[in-house]
Amino acid sequence: MSKLIDGKLVSCAVKERIKAEVSELKNKGITVGLAVILVGEDPASKIYVANKKKACEALGIISQEYLLPENTTTEELLELIDTLNHEKTINGILCQLPLPKGIDEQTVINAILPEKDVDAFHPSNVGKIMIGDYDFVPCTPAGIMEMLDYYNIDICGKNCVVIGRSNIVGKPMSMLLLHKNGTVTTCHSRTNNLSEVTNKADILVSAVGKANFVTADMVKDGAVVIDVGMNRDNGKLCGDVCFDEVKDKASYITPVPGGVGPMTIAMLMQNTLTASKKQNGLL
Ligand code: NAP
C-alpha cells in the first residue's frame, strides 16, 4: 500500500510561507502584484483564472484581471502586455493559455518581459532552466519538485521517467529532475515499448492527458508515481494513472484531484513573490 502525496497539504504549507513573506514586504512598503489576462470564454480557463484571483487575495497579493473578448487581435493583446510591462505595481503577468485561434501564442509569450514572466514560458526563461540558473520555473513542474522535497523523496541517481514532452510540463519536468541528478528519460507518443521504459522508473511522472493511461503493469514495485493528468472520465475528474490498481504497487502516489493541481497555483504565487523581490532589489 502506497503513501499518498497530499498536494493540498503541501500547497497550504507553501502558501503559508508566501503569505508571511508578502506581509513582511508590505511592512517595508513593497507590494506584490499579478496581472492575469484571459481572452475569450473557455470555461476551464475561466475557472483557472478565478482560482488564481482567489489565491492572490488570500495571500495579500494584488491581483488585476483583464477579461478580453474572443475577437481580440494579437495587436490589441500586445498593447495591453506593453502597458503591464511598464506598470510598476504589477510584478507578474500571466496570459491564460490556450489563446483563441487567430492570436499568435508565441508572439504573445515573447512580448511579456522575462522578469515578469511568472509562467516561465518566455524563451529567455526556458533557456535559463536549461542551464540550471533560473528565477522562475513553470508552475506545474515546480510544484512537483516541491512535493518530492516535502516528502524527502531523493532524486539523486534515481531512474526518472517523464511521459510527455510539452513545453509547459514534460520538458521542464525532465530538466528539473536532471538538475537534481536524476537519470532522466523523456517519453512521448513515438516512444517504442513505453511499458518497458516505465517499468525501470524509480520516479514516474505522467503528463499525457489520457484517462486510465498508466496501468499497474507499467509501474515498478515501490516506484514514486506523480500524476499530472487532468482528464474527465464519464464526467469525473481523473488523472492519467489508474489510481486504484497502481496505488498497491507504488511507494508514493499523487491523487487526482488533490495532488499536482493545488501545487500549480501555489507555485504561481511563489513566482510572483520572487518577481516582486527581484524587481525591488531584494534578490
Ligand atoms: P500536451 O501538450 O497535450 O502533451 C501531452 C504529451 O503526451 C505529448 O508530449 C505527447 O507526445 C504525449 N503522449 C500523448 N499520447 C501518448 C502516448 N500514447 N504515449 C506516450 N506519450 C504520449 O499536454 P500538457 O499540456 O503537457 O498536459 C498534460 C496533462 O497534464 C493534461 O491532462 C493537462 O490537463 C494536465 N495538466 C495539469 C496541470 C495541473 O496543474 N494539474 C497543469 C498542466 C497540465 P507527443 O509530443 O509525441 O505528441
172: left (phi over 0), alpha (psi -120 to 50) or beta: alpha
Q: What whole-number percentage of the chain has pLDDT above 70?
A: 100
Beta strands (DSSP E) in the chain are: 3-4, 33-39, 62-68, 92-95, 159-163, 183-187, 203-206, 224-227, 231-233, 236-238, 252-253
Which among 166, 174, 212, 265 is the best mutation to test ligand 1's pocket, defined by most ligand atoms within 8 Å of the CB?
166
The pLDDT score that the predictor gives to residue 33 is: 98
With a cut of 90, say whether residue 228 has pLDDT above it. Answer: yes
The pLDDT score that the predictor gives to residue 119 is: 97
Q: Which amino acid is at 96?
A: Q
Which three three-digit cell numbers place residue 168? 509547459
How far apart are alpha carbons 234 and 199 in whole angstroms? 28
Q: What is the mean pLDDT of residues 247-266?
A: 97
| Residue 52: active-site member | yes
Rounded distance from Cα 100 to ligand 1 centre (Å):
20
Q: What is the mean pLDDT of residues 92-103?
A: 96
Number of Cβ atoms within 10 Å of the Cβ of 152: 6
Q: Helices 43-59 & 7-27, crossing angle to 10 degrees?
A: 50
Give residues (CB < 6 A) around ligand 1. 140, 163-166, 168-170, 187-191, 194, 207-209, 228-231, 260-261, 264
- Going from the N-terminus, what domains does the chain have, and what CATH number goes with each? 29-113 (3.40.50.10860), 139-261 (3.40.50.720)
H or E element at residue 174: helix 170-179
Position in ligand 1 atom list of the atom nearest CA 260 = 41
Of 170, 163, 79, 89, which is closest to residue 129 (Cα–Cα)? Answer: 170
Of 84, 119, 75, 81, which is closest to residue 98 (Cα–Cα)? Answer: 119
The pLDDT score that the predictor gives to residue 2 is: 84
Rounded distance from Cα 230 to ligand 1 centre (Å):
9
| pLDDT tens string 115-137 | 999 999 999 999 999 999 999 99
234: Cβ–Cβ under 8 A, 6 or more apart, which residues? none
Atom 8 in ligand 1: residue holding the nearest Cα? 164
Which among 169, 171, 227 is the best mutation to test ligand 1's pocket, defined by most ligand atoms within 8 Å of the CB?
169
Q: Which of 15, 116, 117, 119 is catalytic?
A: 119
Rounded distance from Cα 209 to ligand 1 centre (Å):
5
Rounded distance from Cα 167 to ligand 1 centre (Å):
10
How far apart are alpha carbons 34 and 70 in whole angstroms? 22
| pLDDT tens string 58-93 | 999 999 999 999 999 999 999 999 999 999 999 999
44: Cβ–Cβ under 8 A, 6 or more apart, which residues? none
With a cut of 80, say whether residue 1 has pLDDT above it. Answer: no
Buried b (16+ CB within 10 A) or exposed e, 83-108: ebeeeeebbbbbbbeebeeebeeeeb
Q: What is the mean pLDDT of residues 157-164?
A: 98
pTM attached to this predicted model: 0.97
Average pLDDT, the chain: 97
